[in-house]
Amino acid sequence: MITTNEILETIDMISQQHLDIRTVTMGISLRDCGHPDLKTCCGKIYDKITRCAERLVQTGEDIEREFGIPIVNKRVSVTPVAIACESCETEDFVPFAVTLDRAAEAVGVNFIGGFSALVQKGFTTGDRRLIDAIPEALAATKRVCSSVNVGSTRAGINMDAVALMGRVVKRTAELTKGQGCAKLVVFCNAVEDNPFMAGAFHGVGEPECVINVGVSGPGVVHHALQKCKGEPFHVVAETVKKTAFRVTRMGELVAQEASRRLGVPFGIVDLSLAPTPAVGDSVADILEEMGLESVGAPGTTAALALLNDAVKKGGVMASSNVGGLSGAFIPVSEDAGMIRAAAAGRLTIEKLEAMTCVCSVGLDMIALPGDTTAETVSAIIADEAAIGMINQKTTAVRVIPVPGLAVGDTVDFGGLLGSAPVMAVNPASAKLFIERGGRIPAPINSLKN
Amino acid sequence: MKAIVTVIGKDTVGIIAHVCAVLAENGVNVLDISQTVMREYFTMIMLVDTAGCKVDFAALADILRRNGQARGLDVRIQREDIFEAMHRI
């Protein structure tokens, strides 16, 4: 039998250290929902989502009660709408977002991802229509999340898309007072089975319907590291590995159970350390526990590299299928420690950019001054995409140029999205760079230095 | 189905009797009990079998939680699988 200490340890993790399943996300293919007529197409989408995800929330809640482990979010991701709805004879893609929003509300999920386009090498007509619709779509809906993939290691970076997305981010901010930008991600090397919002979509290589689970647990890792103060790094790495193993095993168990009850294949467990604004649920706290006075201090990138790698090493043994983004997230507004460091001027965008070289995912939930130009947003996207392209990893940009706010102000997104201090951006212009357009060619994969 | 009941709270007379009575009323069989007092806190772990339980699992969890609360105790019931998964390879 399991020992008393092990049982109490698990209960302590759940009740004191914020251990939870961050999301159970059902991926649904919309590839059979295309139709030339807009109304028919929207009807097919609504029917399919509400049919497949009808029991998702109820099942999640049942599992939550039986295992005594909180499942914070139940969500749905769908085939990128630019692909699924391309055959529809309409120039306006906003009605598709409204349909997704209605379907999400009907099944009781808080976010639905997949108002997306993959344009790393170029645009189709549907891609253009979708991207043009993003600002209005995010203004007209509550639950819809949007993402656009602008680059990949195999294709290079589509700089026309980068330029366009800078303008889309700015326009979205104007229409939604910044809030809509929290639901808009620009990717390089986007993954097709990511369960985490706002970047989730159901890739074209995925099955008809699938269950993906995202685990979390920065608080648990932080707590475990408190017990090895002053120990050398191999002890730190070993402690993180063991903790990640336990957290992931729980995710695997929940994923298998949800898959069985819903009669839907199990896809992957995404073993990410996803912070929340709650005290004690912070990735920054883990880095500071390793001996940094503040996240952002010299040494932060090395600490994060160790953390990210040890989480993966512990997690891969615990699950039969690991996928998604899998790594440590560093969203500024969603992490109390990051907010603290950013507000104190100890964490800058440049340091965050360096950190994204060694962790998943990218410049995430960062509030920028309202007067940041579209070209500067595009240039930030280009830098981040370049890191992803060269390092063969996923990178993303989710920045919020908040209209009317300047450095030192704070913007509140509410709930899990938290609040963020507006961070300073280098004022030098990249206008002529972004105006060039075209493509940055795919990188060479040998001669690595 | 096997489940673990954990009872944590300030030590008072009759906690075990009380929790066992609630379990018996609902047709839950107790297979194993371990109990200790740590730092003034009463801590009891029970392995139970819910195969003959008269109510569904969620309702049982709710009954235990509410009964515990009335006595200042934190009472949880969770399927055994979660502990197995986390602590055994």
What is the domain partition of chain B in residue ranges? Answer: 2-77
Residues of A whose CB is below 8 A from B61: 65-66, 68
Tell me which chain A residue has its CA closest to the CA of residue B47. Answer: A1
CA torsion A138-A141-A142-A143 (nearest 10°) is -80
Q: How far apart are CA B17 and CA B36, in angstroms?
A: 15
Please give the structure tokens belonging to residue A275.
């912070």
Q: How far apart are CA A10 and CA A108, in angstroms?
A: 29
CA-to-CA dists, residue A367 to A173, A373, A397, A409, angstroms: 11, 13, 11, 9
DSSP 8-state symbol, A194 = -
Of A168, A230, A196, A186, the residue nearest A111 (C-alpha): A196
CB contact under 8 A, B81 and A67: yes
Cβ atoms A363, A398 nearer than 8 A:
yes
**Helix, strand or coil for residue A425?**
coil
Cβ atoms B77, B83 nearer than 8 A:
no
Q: Is A32 exposed, middle or buried (0-12, 13-18, 19+ CB in 10 A)?
A: exposed
Chain A nearest CA to B32, separation (Å)? 10
The per-residue b/e assignment along A105-144, b for 16 or more CB within 10 angstroms, e otherwise, is: eebebbbbbbbbbbbbeebeebbbbbbbbbbbbbbbbebb
Q: How far apart are CA A106 and CA A103, in angstroms?
A: 5
Q: How far apart are CA A383 and CA A397, in angstroms?
A: 10
CB contact under 8 A, B80 and A2: yes
Give the per-residue pLDDT at A96.
97
CB contact under 8 A, B86 and A252: no
Cβ atoms A272, A325 nearer than 8 A:
yes
Tell me which chain B residue has its CA closest to the CA of residue A243. Answer: B86
Q: How far apart are CA B60 and CA B23, in angstroms?
A: 9
Average pLDDT over chain B, rounded to an integer: 91
DSSP 8-state symbol, A122 = -
- pLDDT tens, N- to C-terminus, chain A (449 residues): 678 888 888 888 888 888 899 999 999 999 999 999 999 999 999 999 999 999 999 999 999 999 999 999 999 999 999 999 999 999 999 999 999 999 999 999 999 999 999 999 999 999 999 999 999 999 999 999 999 999 999 999 999 999 999 999 999 999 999 999 999 999 999 999 999 999 999 999 999 999 999 988 899 999 999 999 999 999 999 999 999 999 999 999 999 999 999 999 999 999 889 898 888 889 999 999 999 999 999 999 999 999 999 999 999 989 889 988 888 899 999 999 999 999 999 999 999 999 999 997 899 999 999 999 999 999 999 999 999 999 999 999 999 999 999 998 999 988 778 899 999 999 999 999 999 999 999 999 888 77
DSSP 8-state symbol, A347 = S
- Residue whose token pair is 């993303």: A396
Residues of A whose CB is below 8 A from B85: 249-250, 252-253
CATH class given for the domain over B2-77: alpha beta
Tell me which chain B residue has its CA closest to the CA of residue A248. Answer: B86
Of A178, A191, A194, the residue nearest A274 (C-alpha): A194
Global ipTM: 0.84
CB contact under 8 A, A249 and B86: yes
Cβ atoms A73, A26 nearer than 8 A:
no
- Element spanning A58, H or E: helix A56-67
CB contact under 8 A, B58 and A10: no
Chain B nearest CA to A5, separation (Å)? 10
CB contact under 8 A, B76 and A67: no
CB contact under 8 A, A67 and B82: yes
What is the domain partition of chain A in residue ranges? Answer: 21-188
Q: pTM for this one?
A: 0.92
CA torsion A385-A391-A392-A395 (nearest 10°) is -40
Whether the predicted pLDDT of B39 surpasses 80: no
Tell me which chain A residue has its CA closest to the CA of residue B89. Answer: A318
CB within 8 Å of A343: residues ≥ 6 apart: A410, A421
Domain formed by A21-188, architecture? Alpha-Beta Barrel (3.20)
User: Average pLDDT for residues B1-16, to the nearest whole number?
Assistant: 91
Residues of A whose CB is below 8 A from B83: 2, 6-7, 10
CA torsion A260-A264-A265-A270 (nearest 10°) is -90
pLDDT bracket for residue B1 (50, 70, 90): confident
Cβ atoms A362, A326 nearer than 8 A:
no
Cβ atoms A385, A188 nearer than 8 A:
yes
Whether the predicted pLDDT of B12 surpasses 80: yes
The per-residue b/e assignment along A320-339, b for 16 or more CB within 10 angstroms, e otherwise, is: eebbbbbbbbbbbbbbbbbb
For chain B, the three-class secondary structure string (H helix, E strand, C coil) is CEEEEEEEEECCCCHHHHHHHHHHHCCCEEEEEEEEEECCEEEEEEEEECCCCCCCHHHHHHHHHHHHHHCCEEEEEEECHHHHHHHCC
Of A274, A302, A275, A272, the residue nearest A290 (C-alpha): A302
Q: How far apart are CA A251 and CA B46, in angstroms?
A: 24
End-to-end CA distance of chain A: 52
Number of helices (H), then strands (E), belonging to chain A: the values are 15, 13
- Element spanning A271, H or E: strand A266-271
CB within 8 Å of A234: residues ≥ 6 apart: none
**Helix, strand or coil for residue A384?**
helix
CB contact under 8 A, B34 and A4: yes
Q: Is the dihedral of CA A426, A429, A431, A432 positive or negative?
A: negative
CA-to-CA dists, residue A79 to A40, A209, A414, B46, B53, angstroms: 17, 10, 28, 46, 43
**Interface list for chain B against chain A, based on CB atoms closer than 8 Å:** 4, 6, 8, 32, 34, 36, 43, 45, 47, 57-58, 61, 76-88
Q: How far apart are CA A76 and CA A60, in angstroms?
A: 13
Q: Identify residue B35 by its one-letter amino acid code.
A: Q
Of A165, A167, A115, A166, the residue nearest A140 (C-alpha): A115
End-to-end CA distance of chain B: 21
Residues of A whose CB is below 8 A from B8: 11
